[in-house]
Structure 1
Amino acid sequence: MMRRRTTLLTGCTALALTFGATACGSSDPVSAGGGDKALGGQTVTVAGVWSGSEQKNFQKVLDAFAEKTGAKTQFVSTGDNVSTVVGSKIEGGNAPDVVMVPQVGVLQQFAENGWLKQLSGTTEKAVDTNFAPVWKTYGSVDGTLYGLYFKAAHKSTVWYSPDAFTQAGVEPPTTYDDLLKAGHTVSDSGLAAFSVAGQDGWTLTDWFENIYLSQAGPEKYDALATHELKWTDPSVVEALTTLGKLFKDKQLLAGGQNGALNTDFPGSVEKVFGPKPEAGMVYEGDFVAGVAKDQFGKSIGEDANFFPFPAVGAGEAPVVSGGDAAVVLKDGKNTKAGMALLEYLATPEAAAVWAGAGGFLSPNTKLDLASYGDDVTRATAKSLIDAGDSVRFDMSDQAPAAFGGTKGAGEWKLLQDFLRDPSDPKATAAALEAAAAKAYKG
């Protein structure tokens, strides 16, 4: 497919529009510019999926940008279906200037539709300097940078109750086999090992991806993510077999398979950290900490802690990530100010604002870890940064939404079916390949 290109707004030109010509020679242009209010009277509209505390904390970042530049900001929450909402706004002549895109596949779709402006030279330089190269890769389409990853998720963290581990006499495991052994020991002490959020199919894709990345390795992971490798490949069957050992073990799952299928993500956290614990561990991303803290009053590091998702077999411990990329729409009413916002978001200064508020990880390597509010978040952030280019983006987020991101369809549904009956990994792999082939062809 022919993909449209846009003219590059040079770093100095974009910077001058935003912070004044004197900033053009600065090595840290956004920080150097503060206080001249060059965008006074202009409004930047930003659309994204965030609501609640995430929207509130991102607003603090926007407020810091406004204080620095004089611009006004307006945030519009899109709900989960970013593509549909943004498309309708473009058609209606009411496009936002900036969109926070939560999936690589959606960013690619926006670029292919010709909706996006190439990011400025200033932003690209900041990405080259401040981020591991993998983040530039995920923000680019055909070698052109369209997306800046501002917020990241670390999806290779297993959260546990220290009290449950103490009672069972177990330590955080470092291999997958030891993880299952520790789970049985926890179960013998009176709690189920794992609370699994099978009602939300996306959590099951994350289970699979961590196992697959560790067991099959990054090259096959990348090939499967782009459907260059078929889901019927033996490596997929092997990973499903490994996952199936957990799913079919009623001693390990809180409520068994039916209980897992009737548990959503917040419920899975509640079963470990709520007032009536049913399990000792819950696997999901760093955002588990926010739920444990905000909804159940847990002290992170004392009442709730994590260990890295352990290595499977002879593989390396996986680091799977997700994230939200800022993009600038061509049809926005104030794209120059939108581009200036991205130049600000590329700085450690902007990341520090949300880091201090909590519920946030940044892939910006120049962000001082002291900016985070607690030791556990610092450890999670350090793990993500230290992984460098070995980080792999959530595979389902790279796929067409029909396969990797639709409730009751594609990968979500088929892995729920596998949780219900994990007896035939080959049949599940075949069903996944049929769904993937249809979605990628479409």
Structure 2
Amino acid sequence: MSFIVQRRFTAPFAILAVAGLALAGCSSDTGSGSGSSAGPGPGDAGDADGVVTIYGTIQDTEADLLNKSWAAWEKESGIDIQYEGSKEFEAQIGTRAQGGTAPDLAIFPQPGLLGDLASRDLVQPAPEGVASNVSEFWGEDWAGYASTGDTLYGAPLMASVKGFVWYSPAQFKEWGVEVPTTYQELLDLTKTIQGKTKTAPWCVGFGSDAATGWPGTDWVEDLVLREAGPDVYDQWVAHEIPFNDPAIKSAFDSVGEILLNPDYVNAGFGDVKSINTTPFGDPARALGDGSCALHHQASFYDGFIQDPANGNATVGPDADIWAFITPSVEAGGSAVTGGGEIVAAFSNDTDTVKVQEYLSSPEWANSRVALGGVISANKGLDPASASSPILQEAIKVLQDPATTFRFDGSDLMPGVVGAGSFWTGMVDWINGKSTDEVLDNIEATWPSE
């Protein structure tokens, strides 16, 4: 799922087919669009009164940084941006949109939720200036996640790169091992470390209160993309192939070579079943104290590793802990999964358009990323703006034209699956239920067309 610092919950929503989505109104000769209104859609909405409201899931310290990121622009533009963060965003945004109390802009952490509202004509198509920015500064994959049919409805905001494997460079040097370039080499590396240390190399935590199980979905998504490729990944997410398709079973089997092997997990915490009871943040401490050699988690995890409560380890190529992307089946593969947000509008007055355009620009991306803790896939972002080496590395991955990016699959699936049976299925699997039974159970929960 979409991630900046904490896991966010989703409500049921329609799936968004990600393959073949086209950008609307993004030709190279499109003007900046400043002050322009959105194209045909739900109709004129909102008045340019100098105030633009934004609603989203971002809260607490992150919300403070969000407000700081646009403070200078507010003074220059004379527009007052009023942000509201809520834990009930997914449940409330549809109700507010239908009830006439929608914000001017909303920050959607799930493309599927935006796609659901767009399919019901509750969201404004993106104005020309936003479409122009998306065309220039964002890849086609990202444009697709902000589109429904052939219409662009918003622009990406922040992002995360998933599938990092965290390790100690000093330990690798001590053991005489190197960063793997294929998934088989990762399995070989695991076996080598286990042989040298006589302890489980991997530490894994699926625990996340009501969302327990989500870290396991990230493992599976990584392997579906790396083994079966982006086309099959898209078909899986859109339910063009069933959840119990052989390609998905193969991904589970590959993940199981690590997660279901009692010789390989769970360093510092217990046996295989302890994965479900270990909070997802706790392996950061095991990495820092050296009791765990390998851990799979997204780019945001450096904040957990460097947290004083977890030992205050440093992150960097020559520091205490560093990371590499989970390798593909074949050497040289460049497919990654990740998450992010999409900014879409319910109003199309000139003030709202100006704010939406600014949030889709490199100027805003550099302003926010420089404040720390997050990244963006905006091509105009300077990687040096990022607050840590791993975030700089993640930006380079996102900006690399050779990278094949796919949004977190569970965020694109109906909520009853992506934030329901997929999570609980991972827990059941770790507890010993067979792969076939788990996949059949998840498939049975997919909403009928």
Equivalence for 1:53: 61
What residue number does 1:268 align with? 283
Report if the CA contact (8 A) 2:228-2:247 is conserved. yes
Counterpart Cα distance in 2 of 1:387 and 1:191: 40
Aligned residues of 2:299 and 2:390 also touching (Cα < 8 A) = no
Call closer, same or farther: CA 1:326–1:191 in 2, change over 3 Å: farther
Query: CA–CA distance in 2 between the matches of 1:99 and 1:430?
Result: 36
Q: Distance in 2 between matches of 1:315 and 1:372?
A: 26
Equivalent residue number for residue 26 of structure 1: none
Change (3 A) 1:182 1:13: closer
Q: Deviations over 1:376-415 (max 9, x none)?
A: 322221112115562111111111111102xxx3111112
Name the structure 2 match of 1:432.
Answer: 442
Q: What is the one-letter code of the residue matched to 2:143?
A: K
Distance, in Å, in 2 between the alignment partners of 1:429 and 1:132 is 32
Is 2:431 aligned against 1:420? yes
Do the aligned residues in 2 keep the contact of 1:370 with 1:378 (CA within 8 Å)? yes
Alignment of 1:213-228 (within 5 A): 213-228=225-240
Match of 1:114 in 2: 121
Among 305, 312, 317, the alignment partner of 1:292 is 305
Structure 2 contact 157–360 (Cα < 8 Å) conserved: yes
Q: Is the aligned partner of 1:71 residue 2:82?
A: no
Contact 2:66 2:368 (C-alpha < 8 Å) held by counterparts: yes
Measure, in 2, the Cα distance between the counterparts of 1:384 and 1:147.
Answer: 19
Q: Is residue 115 of structure 2 the alignment partner of residue 104 of structure 1?
A: no
Q: Work out the CA distance in 2 between the residues paired with 1:220 and 1:162.
A: 35
Mapped contact 2:335–2:403 kept (Cα < 8 A)? no
| Structure 1 stretches of at least 4 aligned residues deviating more than 4 Å after TM superposition | 10-14
CA distance in 2, matches of 1:122, 1:90: 23
The offset of 1:226, in angstroms, is 0.3
Most deviating of 425-434 and 339-348: 425-434
Give the aligned partner of residue 133 of structure 1: 140
Deviation at 1:290, TM superposition (A): 2.0
Matched with 2:296 is 283
**Deviation, structure 1 residue 113:** 3.1
2:190 to 178, 183, 191: 183
- 1:237 deviates by 1.5
Letter of the 1:127 partner, please give it: V
**The 10-residue stretch of structure 1 (188-197 or 50-59) with the greater mean CA deviation from structure 2:** 188-197
Stretch moving more, 335-344 or 317-326: 335-344
Asked if residue 256 in structure 1 is aligned to residue 271 in structure 2, the reply is yes
TM-score, normalised to structure 1, is 0.84
CA shift digits 1:204-227 (9 cap, x unpaired): 111001011111111111111100
Unaligned runs of 5+ in 1: 2-6, 19-38
> Where in structure 2 are there 5+ consecutive unaligned residues?
1-13, 15-23, 38-46
Residue in 1 that maps onto 2:344:
327
Secondary structure of residue in 1 paired with 2:273: helix
Q: What is the TM-score normalised by the length of structure 2?
A: 0.82
- % identical equivalent positions: 27
Please state which structure has a larger fraction of its residues in helix. 1
Question: Per-residue deviation at 1:192?
Answer: 3.2
Tell whether 2:371 aligns with 1:357.
yes
Cα distance change of structure 1 residues 170 and 389 upon mapping to structure 2, 3 Å threshold: closer
Please give the secondary structure, in 2, of the residue aligned with 1:229: coil
1:235-254 matches, within 5 Å, as: 235-254=247-266
User: Aligned to 1:265, what secondary structure does the other structure show?
Assistant: coil
Match of 2:70 among 43, 62, 65: 62
Aligned partner letter, 1:226: A
Q: Which moved more, 1:380-389 or 1:109-118?
A: 380-389
Find the partner of 2:325 among 293, 303, 308. Answer: 308
Alignment length (residue pairs): 404
CA distance in 2, matches of 1:210, 1:351: 26
Is the 1:372–1:378 Cα contact (8 Å) retained in structure 2? yes
Whichever residue aligns with residue 57 of structure 1, its letter is: L
Supply the AA of the counterpart residue of 2:152. L
Conserved in 2, the CA contact under 8 Å of 1:105 and 1:397?
yes
Letter of the structure 2 residue corresponding to residue 431 of structure 1: N
Deviations 1:7-56 (A, max 9, x none): 99x976951369xxxxxxxxxxxxxxxxxxxx996222111111233222
1:304 is displaced (CA, Å) by: 2.1
Q: Of the two structures, which has the highest relative contact order with CA contacts closer than 8 Å and spacing of 6 or more? A: 2
Further displaced range: 396-405 or 257-266: 257-266
